[in-house]
Structure 1
Amino acid sequence: MKKFIANIVYDGARMVETEFKQCSDGRTVIASSSIVPNLEKYLTVPESVKRCYYLDANEKLVLFELYSWAKDDGKCQVAMDLVSLKLGISERTVRTCVKELVKKKFVQVSKQGRSNIYTFDALKDNPYLVLSEFVHEFIQNYYYKAGLLQDKEWVKAVGDEGVRLWREAVVDTLAKEAKKEEFYKPYLLRLTDTPDDYENIAISFTNELLELINNDVMKKASKLGLLSEAV
């Protein structure tokens, strides 16, 4: 197993190697199965990275491709045009993604002669990952119906229509507001400067999202003539 993966992405690079055998009755069964080092066939990474709210789809593709080229020391050397060929996206897009990955503290780039060397930062306490998990915790607590009916009196009054409106507001707010740099950057700075204040930062983040969602959902309810029933 690649050592850097164990340190960087929590035992992430591995593949399952399975051997099959043919039985006399024509059946094919598994003879053995084992975990072996990644041979550039399969690469698994932590769920927090795969679903990171603050990495776009191409940034994840490029990051995972770079991971697959890494040696045990957590470094890789690969041409950007080759990454482009492997992923089926333009070289310009690949280079833009690398710049973003550097900015977001997933990758460091250094020079060795005329070649770039890519070194992977530890994921532990990466503020973008932490903030992303705040978002997923928010979804868990404020999107599903069971939690809403306990917390929102006006949702109870409006009923299923209220739940639908609330969910629309959650989706709209997360898509339009949570990814705006002016919204999330202050929280990134707080996570970087005062990581021990994790709980208070999470509370502030949640409360600001809730305020935005409440404003949005009240407008939606008002337009449909439901607001007077619910308050």
Structure 2
Amino acid sequence: MAAKFIDDIIFNGARMVETEFSDRKDGRTVITRSSIIPNHGKYLTIPENVKRCYYLDANEKLVLFELYSRAKEDGKCQVAMDLVSLKLGISERTVRTCVKELVKKKFVQVSKKGRSNIYTFDALKDNPYLVLSEFIHEFIQNYYYKAGLRKDKEWVNAVGDEGIRLWREAVVDTLAKEAKKEEFYKPYLLRLTDTPDDYENIASSFTNELLELINNDVMKKASKLGFLSDAV
């Protein structure tokens, strides 16, 4: 399983273009040959759900991607933390903190060999942080874009464009401030871990709680602006 995971995520996508050029008599340079060759050191393809994971911060992603880039065919990599620090231009302390978080969030497992860590990559399929992150992106798709909001024509007609603007501001504020709070998302992580087959009910509960928070925020914003409608 680990080998296939690494093949799919690292080697099959880590490629670069090798190109040959030729100078023409009219002074122009043209491409005469272009081919795709494996290149594990420069380019790395990462699954979209990992790249946009709402519950990994920027440094955690940097560290995870650096570890991915060093993976061998057995699904493991061995590297010292000070080297990761040098490669990424962040402190070793930050790297260590990120690794702890990546272990906690079930992206990697760590063992020791001398001064170096051995990293084994966990399967992504049922990672609760990734699943919860995708709930967020589905929520954005349905409740941020006007196309999704306009499905409720009665509401849109009642509040107009000003109401839509307030709603979108509330979506942004709520996701930035509330959805990342551990006390908000931790119960859903536990449910996804304990009862993964209850996916639809968990997603529904998650969405409804976010909507309640957003509605409360909209009411506050509308009240301050003197723009308050029963429809909101």
TM above 0.5: yes
- State the AA in 1 paired with 2:193: T
Alignment of 1:20-99 (within 5 A): 20-25=20-25, 26-34=28-36, 36-99=37-100
CA distance in 1, matches of 2:12, 2:95: 23
- The equivalent residue for 2:159 is 158
**Cα displacement (A) at 1:98:** 0.2
Number of residues of Structure 1 aligned to a counterpart in Structure 2 = 228
CA distance in 1, matches of 2:113, 2:161: 61
CA distance in 2, matches of 1:38, 1:181: 39
Cα RMSD between the aligned structures? Answer: 2.0
Alignment check: 8 A CA contact 1:74 1:119 kept:
yes
**Cα displacement (A) at 1:160:** 1.1
CA distance in 2, matches of 1:31, 1:5: 30
Alignment check: 8 A CA contact 1:149 1:155 kept:
yes
Which stretch shows the higher mean deviation, 118-127 or 141-150?
Answer: 141-150
**Cα displacement (A) at 1:6:** 2.5
CA distance in 2, matches of 1:90, 1:106: 21
**Cα displacement (A) at 1:123:** 0.8
SS of 1:150 mapped into structure 2 = coil
- State the AA in 2 paired with 1:99: K
**Cα displacement (A) at 1:44:** 1.3
SS of 2:94 mapped into structure 1 = helix
The two structures have a TM-score, normalised by structure 1, of 0.91
CA deviations on 1:61-97 (whole Å, 9 max, x unpaired) are: 0000011111111111111111111111100000000
CA deviations on 1:116-135 (whole Å, 9 max, x unpaired) are: 21111111111101100000
**Cα displacement (A) at 1:154:** 4.2
SS of 2:55 mapped into structure 1 = coil
**Cα displacement (A) at 1:16:** 2.5
* Cα gap change, 1:152 to 1:127, in 2 (>3 Å): farther
- State the AA in 1 paired with 2:31: V
- The equivalent residue for 2:201 is 200
**Cα displacement (A) at 1:10:** 7.8
CA distance in 1, matches of 2:29, 2:186: 58
SS of 2:16 mapped into structure 1 = strand
CA distance in 2, matches of 1:22, 1:96: 50
Structure 1 runs not aligned, ≥5 long? none
SS of 1:226 mapped into structure 2 = coil
- The equivalent residue for 2:188 is 187
- State the AA in 1 paired with 2:172: V
CA distance in 1, matches of 2:11, 2:193: 25
The two structures have a TM-score, normalised by structure 2, of 0.91
**Cα displacement (A) at 1:109:** 0.3
Q: Does 1:16 align with 2:16?
A: yes
CA distance in 1, matches of 2:220, 2:60: 35
SS of 1:227 mapped into structure 2 = coil
* Cα gap change, 1:152 to 1:192, in 2 (>3 Å): farther
CA distance in 2, matches of 1:11, 1:203: 37
CA distance in 2, matches of 1:153, 1:214: 16
* Identity in percent: 81
Alignment check: 8 A CA contact 1:156 1:162 kept:
no
Alignment check: 8 A CA contact 1:19 1:31 kept:
yes
